[in-house]
Copies of this chain bind each other. A is one copy, B any other.
Amino acid sequence: MKRPISELIKNYQDKMQFARAFRYALWMIGWDTETEAPRGALEERSIHVGTLSRELHNFSTSQEMIDLVQELFDRKDELDSLMHTEIKKTHKYLMRQLKVPVDEYVEYQMLLSKTQTIWADAKNNNDYNAFKPYLEKIIFFKQKMMSYWQTDTLQGYDVLLDQFEEGMTSTEYDEFFVALKKDLVPFVKGITSLPKQEFSFLNQSYDIDKQKAFSHYIMDVLMFDRTRGLMKESEHPYTSGMTSQDVRWTNHFHEKLITSSIFSAIHELGHATYEQQCNPDLDKTNLGGGTSMAMHESQSRFYENIVGRSFAFWNVHFPKVQALFPSQLKDVTVEEWVKAVNQVENSLIRTEADELTYPLHIMVRYDIERAIMKQELTVEELPQEWNRLMKAYLDIDVPSDREGILQDVHWSSGMFGYFPTYALGSAYAAQIYYAMKRDFDVEDSLASGNTQAINEWLKQKIHWHGSTKTAKQLLLEATNEPFNPQYYIEYLKTKYQSIYR
Binding site for B on A (CB under 8 A): 17-18, 20-22, 24-25, 28-29, 31-32, 36-41, 43-45, 47-48, 51-52, 55, 225-230, 232, 242-243, 245-246, 283
Check A17–B226 contact: CB distance below 8 A: no
Since A21-B47, A38-B228, A44-B245 are in contact, a sample of 16 more A-B pairs with Cβ atoms closer than 8 Å, ordered by chain A residue number, is A17-B47, A17-B51, A20-B48, A21-B52, A24-B45, A24-B48, A25-B29, A25-B48, A28-B28, A36-B230, A36-B232, A38-B226, A39-B228, A40-B225, A40-B229, A40-B245
Report B-chain residues with C-beta under 8 Å of the C-beta of A32: 28, 31-32
5 interchain residue pairs of minimum CB distance: A25-B25, A40-B228, A21-B51, A40-B245, A41-B246
Q: Which residues of B contact A41 (CB under 8 A)?
A: 228, 245-246
A225 CA / B39 CA spacing, docked (Å): 11
Copies of this chain, complex-wide, total: 2
* A51-B228 contact, Cβ under 8 Å, with A24-B45, A37-B246, A44-B242: no
Contact A227 B40 (CB under 8 A): yes
For A31, what are the chain B residues with a Cβ–Cβ distance below 8 Å? 32
- Give CA–CA (A243, B47) in the complex, Å: 13
The interface residues of chain B lying within 8 Å CB-to-CB of A246 are 37-38, 40-41, 44
CA A230 to CA B32, docked complex, whole Å:
12
> A25 to B230, alpha carbons, bound, how many Å?
20
The secondary-structure label for the interface of chain A is: helix
Q: Which residue of B lies closest to A26 (CB)?
A: B25
Which chain B positions have C-beta within 8 A of A51?
17-18, 21
- Out of B20, B38, B44, B229, which one reaches A38, CB within 8 Å? B229
Give the distance in Å from the alpha carbon of A79 to the alpha carbon of B225 in the complex: 57
C-alpha spacing A228/B44, complex, angstroms: 12
Q: With A and B bound together, what is the CA distance between A21 and B40 in angstroms?
A: 17
Asked if A21 and B48 make an inter-chain contact with CB atoms under 8 angstroms apart, the answer reads yes
Instruction: Return A95 CB to nearest CB of chain B, in Å.
Output: 26
- Contacts of A245 on B, CB cut-off 8 Å? 38, 40-41, 43-44
Tell me the smallest distance from the CB of A231 to a CB of chain B, in Å. 10
CB < 8 Å neighbour of A243 from B44, B226, B228: B44
Complex CA–CA separation, A24 to B51 (angstroms): 11
- Which of A29, A230, A283 has the most B CB atoms < 10 Å from its CB? A29
* A47 surroundings in chain B (CB, below 8 A): 17, 21
Separation of A48 and B17 alpha carbons in the complex (Å): 8
**Can you name the residue of chain B whose Cβ is closest to the Cβ of A242?**
B44
Q: Which residues of B contact A225 (CB under 8 A)?
A: 40
24 interchain pairs, CB-CB under 8 A: A17-B47, A18-B51, A20-B48, A21-B48, A21-B55, A24-B45, A25-B28, A28-B29, A31-B32, A38-B226, A38-B228, A38-B230, A38-B246, A39-B228, A40-B225, A40-B228, A40-B229, A40-B246, A41-B246, A43-B245, A44-B242, A44-B243, A44-B246, A44-B283
CB distance from A306 to the nearest CB of B (A): 28
Q: Closest residue of chain B to A50, judged by CB?
A: B21
Closest residue on chain B to residue A31 by CB atoms: B32
Minimum distance in angstroms from A29 CB to a CB of chain B: 5
Q: Roughly how many angstroms separate A283 CA and B44 CA in the complex, as a whole number?
A: 9
CA distance A44 to B41 in the complex (A): 26
- When the two chains form the complex, which single residue of B24, B39, B243 contacts A227, counting CB atoms closer than 8 Å? B39
> Which residues of the other chain, B, contact A55 by a CB distance below 8 angstroms?
21
A56 to chain B, nearest CB (A): 11
Chain B residues in 8 Å Cβ range of A36: 230, 232
Residues in B neighbouring A24, C-beta threshold 8 A: 29, 44-45, 48
Tell me the bound Cα distance from A227 to B230 in angstroms.
25
List of B residues within 8 angstroms of A283 by Cβ:
44
Instruction: Give the docked Cα–Cα distance between A40 and B227 (Å).
Output: 6
Q: Whole-angstrom distance between the alpha carbons of A38 and B40 in the complex?
A: 27
Separation of A232 and B228 alpha carbons in the complex (Å): 20
When chains A and B are docked, how far (Å) is the Cα of A283 from the Cα of B43? 12
Q: Write out the residue numbers on chain B whose beta carbons fall within 8 Å of the beta carbon of A52.
A: 21-22, 25
Q: In whole angstroms, what is the CA distance A392 to B245 when docked?
A: 51
Q: How far is the CA of A225 from the CA of B41 in the complex (A)?
A: 12
- Residue in chain B with minimal CB distance to A33: B28
Measured in the bound complex, the distance between the Cα atoms of B44 and A52 in whole Å is 19
Q: How far is the CA of A36 from the CA of B48 in the complex (A)?
A: 22
Shortest CB distance A452–B (Å): 20
Give the distance in Å from the alpha carbon of A14 to the alpha carbon of B166 in the complex: 41
CB proximity of A17 to chain B, nearest CB, Å: 7
A437 to B38 Cα, complex, angstroms: 35
CA of A246 to CA of B22, assembled, Å: 22
A18 surroundings in chain B (CB, below 8 A): 51
